[in-house]
């Protein structure tokens, strides 16, 4: 869990205050969780509410996929 926690940074954006960003990211529902690389590439998107355990598992799986992609380069 510690490595995963260090791999992600949480950023909260209030959609109604940033409509241009919501359009650019094609966000149409709230909440929406985006998982992105450090250079801003969106690698996954979760729409709607999810509990902490499911969010953790999804983040872990996405993180592992990204590590595999980096290793293949």
Can you give the three-state secondary structure of the chain, one letter per residue?
CHHHHHHCCCCCCCHHHCHHHHHHCCCCCCCEEEEECCCCCEEEEEECCCCHHHHHHHHHHHHHHHHHHHHHC
pTM surpassing 0.85? no
Superfamily designation of domain 2-72: Glutaredoxin (3.40.30.10)
Cα(61)–Cα(70) distance, integer angstroms: 14
Q: Tokens for 18, please give them.
A: 């940033």
What is the residue extent of each domain of the chain? Answer: 2-72
How does pLDDT run across 17-67, given as a tens digit for each residue?
999 999 998 898 889 988 887 788 888 889 999 898 888 888 889 888 887
Q: What is the pLDDT of residue 43?
A: 86
């Amino acid at each position: 869990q510690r490595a995963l926690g260090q791999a992600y940074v949480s950023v909260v954006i209030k959609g109604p205050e940033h409509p241009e960003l919501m359009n650019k990211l094609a966000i149409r529902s709230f909440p929406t969780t985006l998982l992105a690389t450090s250079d801003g590439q969106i690698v996954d998107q979760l729409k709607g509410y999810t509990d902490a355990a499911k969010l953790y598992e999804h983040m872990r799986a996405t993180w592992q996929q990204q590590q595999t992609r980096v290793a293949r380069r």
